[in-house]
Structure 1
């Protein structure tokens, strides 16, 4: 029964937005498998979470309540909100100034043990980040042509950074005594 949420979440996220997105999706699957597909109440910090995601979550993840990704300004707005939220979620050892984007790729050293701010599973964990990246990726084709390449590059950078941190968390899990 605990895996039912995961099946629905995976079905929702499983769209072909390119190899980078699919690699992140694969890492997320690994994380949830290691967490035995549980969906506890513990959540990623809500402060700075994109409003569109909060609204969609309050409506119980109903697809008909998704944001309009074809709106001209959607990706521009969402991308800024995703970066702001992502930066606010980082462990203290990453030391990213608010209002800036992290240097890429992140420097993850062996022995980094404080992953608490990112160590969340289930519907209230990394799923929300991936939902935002899905919407961002789907909305790119509707962006004005003169902004599309830059917004796609920013999306790929976000995927790269989020993937690197998720993989760092997975490495920490696997190295931790059981």
Structure 2
């Protein structure tokens, strides 16, 4: 199952059409729900695609290389390499933790123990309030590669890496939905 492309495709900028098509793969309900939230975020942000984006420090090198080559012309990483997901998942967590707002307070080198409980008093979303190809798109690309690579990782690590991937999706979803709630509650 994948998401249908909503609305008139020509009404959306080309970058969004290509990004949606790239991310729209069947990796389960949790992933598709996250993808749907990302679509809402980009819609609320008027499909802007600024050059500035998420902090590059700690960003997985594989993603940086891929984005430099303009994703539509770039080859995907070799997710069928036995150990790609084993190392890549750790890089994704490291980057994700480094992007968190100050109020989240996750120690570097650790993973969140559970998705956050978002309160309306949490108003500093600056580190995650990024749009377009340099925003949340990169996070979703990482989760796509991780999810697709699970079938190629060592059998003895597969279940653990899948649970970790689902945990990452839950955490990313909670923060993205918190950001969406903040947008909707903010005065225009």
Q: Same fold (TM over 0.5)?
A: yes
CA distance in 2, matches of 1:110, 1:38: 25
3-state SS in 1 of match to 2:71: coil
Of residues 2, 10, 17 in structure 1, which corresponds to 2:27? 17
1:80: Cα distance to partner? 0.2
Query: CA RMSD, aligned part only?
Result: 1.1
Q: Which runs of 5+ in 2 are unaligned?
A: 1-10
3-state SS in 1 of match to 2:168: helix
Q: Which runs of 5+ in 1 are unaligned?
A: none
CA distance in 2, matches of 1:29, 1:173: 14
Matched, 1:151 2:134: no
Aligned residue pairs, count: 178
Match of 1:102 in 2: 112
Matched, 1:115 2:111: no
Match of 1:132 in 2: 142
TM-score (normalizing by structure 2): 0.92
Q: Is the 2:83–2:154 contact (alpha carbons within 8 Å) kept by the matching residues of 1?
A: no
Please say which of residues 105-114 and 92-101 is displaced more in the overlay: 105-114
1:151: Cα distance to partner? 0.2
Matched, 1:88 2:92: no
TM-score (normalizing by structure 1): 0.97
Residue by residue, what CA displacement relative to the aligned partner does 1:1-38 show, whole Å, maximum 9, x if unpaired?
A: 86210000000000000000000000000000000111
Residue by residue, what CA displacement relative to the aligned partner does 1:109-147 show, whole Å, maximum 9, x if unpaired?
A: 121100000000000000000000000000000111111
1:62: Cα distance to partner? 3.7
